[in-house]
Structure 1
Amino acid sequence: MIPRKIHIIWVGDESKRPENCIQTWRDLHPDWEVKIWGNIELKEYGWYNARHMKEMAPRELNGVADMMRWEILYNEGGLVVDADSACVRPLDNHLLEHEAFACWENELVRPGLIAAGYVATSAGCEFIGQIIMDIHHETSVVTDMAWKTVGPLRLTEAYKKYAYTPLSILPSHYFIPEHFGGTKYTGNGPIYARQYWGSTRRIYDTLHQAKIAEEKRHDEITIDC
């Protein structure tokens, strides 16, 4: 089973770390271990792909976080969630019975692309280990945008290449009910989190100051930046 651990990565300006979002994961999972990975861990952890992280850092910190994500999952297991997300519903236990799970980014806007922001595995997952090795063997990972070289596209292509059938790909609305393009889920299925697209929408300068308020109508969170 996937261990009851939630990992959140924030590297860069720690004064802008979105504690308001992070706290929602703590509040709704009081009996889980919630670990924050930041600049100290980036410097001291001993990452297998440290060379690529160093090269990526001046360009896209989200790409550094993606590479950290894979090694955290392989070494510790659990669920890694994006820092710019707010939890609106505790994760159901049945999700942990999967060997591994992720979710689609959006079935309509980007069909076939697996999101990298919500991936869960047990420690030592061979599939995640293969992603780490594939990145390691690259001459450089800054030849294109990070979402392609180390993020969602890397995950999606590895899933196809290695035919990792134990990976359960959940509907996008579980964690990303609203895509940055504006497409919004309006069904009655479970929503566990909301993604605010901090990098894409360039709102990280204000996200940590935003008021996040729970709506009583159903499991939703609204945010005012």
Structure 2
Amino acid sequence: MIPRTLHVIWVGDESKRPDNCIATWREHNPDWTVRVWGNEDLASYGWVNAAHMRDMSRRELNGVADLMRWEILYHEGGFVVDADSICKRPLEPWLFEGEACACWENELIRPGLIAAGYVASKPENPFFGQIILDLQKEPTVVDRMAWQSVGPLFLTEQVRLQRYSGLTIWPSHFFIPRHFTGHEYTGGGPVFAAQEWGSTLGKYDELHKRKVA
């Protein structure tokens, strides 16, 4: 089973951590454990890909979070959500009936691309174990943008490369109803969260100050 643990990763300037956003996950999901991973965890956890994390930290902190995400999912299991996401309603048990889950980034704007910001798994899932090993073999992960080398594109390529059939892929509107391009879902289906695109749209200087609930 997928553990009822919500993981949020925030590395870098802790004064800008969007605790207001993180609080919405606690408020709507009191039966889940919320664990926030920060700079101390980055320094002490014993990451397999610590060298890649150090290199990535000099370029894109969101890439460091992606590298941490895969190892957290493998060792801990649970549901990793982006720090700049705002929970809108309680998570439903049926979302997590499989062994691993994720959602499309946007079926119309980027068809076929799996988002990295909302990924769940049971512990010790061999799929994520292989992801960690494949990253370890890479001579560098900073030769491209992080979304390509360790994030959504990398995840999408790994699903196809490993022919992984255990991944339930939710519709994008469940967690990303508004794409960074402005395209917005207007249907009547469930929306569990909103994505603020903090890194992509440069919102982190002000996001932590906003009223989001």
Q: Under TM normalisation by the shorter chain, which class is it? A: over 0.9
Shift, 1:31, TM fit: 1.4
Q: Report SS of the residue matched to 2:123.
A: coil
Counterparts of 2:170 and 2:212, CA distance in 1:
25
Shift, 1:6, TM fit: 0.2
Counterpart for residue 74 of structure 2: 74
Counterpart for residue 193 of structure 2: 193
Q: How many corresponding residue pairs?
A: 213
1:189-210 deviation line (CA, Å, top 9, x unaligned): 1111000000011010000001
Shift, 1:97, TM fit: 1.1
Counterpart for residue 136 of structure 1: 136
Please list every run of at least 4 consecutive aligned residues from structure 1 whose deviation after the TM superposition is greater than 4 angstroms. Answer: none
Counterpart for residue 16 of structure 2: 16
Match of 1:18, as an amino acid?
P
Q: Report SS of the residue matched to 1:199.
A: coil
Counterpart for residue 112 of structure 2: 112
Counterpart for residue 153 of structure 1: 153
Is residue 3–residue 96 contact of structure 1 (8 Å, CA) maintained in 2? no
Match of 1:148, as an amino acid?
Q
Counterpart for residue 168 of structure 1: 168
Match of 2:33, as an amino acid?
E
1:44-123 equivalent positions in 2, closer than 5 A: 44-123=44-123
Counterpart for residue 28 of structure 1: 28
1:52-107 deviation line (CA, Å, top 9, x unaligned): 00011010000000000000000000000000000001110111211111000000
Counterpart for residue 204 of structure 1: 204
Shift, 1:29, TM fit: 1.0
Identity of aligned residues (%): 63
Q: Structure 2: where are the runs of 5+ without partners?
A: none
Shift, 1:212, TM fit: 1.3
- Report the structure, 1 or 2, having the larger strand content: 1
Counterparts of 2:155 and 2:135, CA distance in 1:
11
Shift, 1:157, TM fit: 0.2
Counterparts of 2:24 and 2:103, CA distance in 1:
20
Q: Report SS of the residue matched to 1:187.
A: coil
1:168-193 deviation line (CA, Å, top 9, x unaligned): 11100000000000110000111110
> Is residue 2:46 matched to residue 1:41?
no
TM-score (norm. length: structure 2):
0.99
TM-score (norm. length: structure 1):
0.94
Q: Report SS of the residue matched to 1:120.
A: strand
Shift, 1:109, TM fit: 0.4
Match of 1:183, as an amino acid?
H
Counterparts of 1:179 and 1:25, CA distance in 2:
20
Is residue 74–residue 129 contact of structure 1 (8 Å, CA) maintained in 2? yes
1:89-137 deviation line (CA, Å, top 9, x unaligned): 1110111211111000000000000000000000000101111111110
Match of 1:48, as an amino acid?
V
Counterparts of 1:78 and 1:90, CA distance in 2:
16
Counterparts of 1:189 and 1:136, CA distance in 2:
39
Q: Report SS of the residue matched to 1:212.
A: coil
Counterpart for residue 217 of structure 1: none
Coordinate RMSD, CA, aligned: 0.6
Counterparts of 1:56 and 1:131, CA distance in 2:
17
Counterparts of 2:164 and 2:154, CA distance in 1:
14
Counterparts of 2:93 and 2:144, CA distance in 1:
38
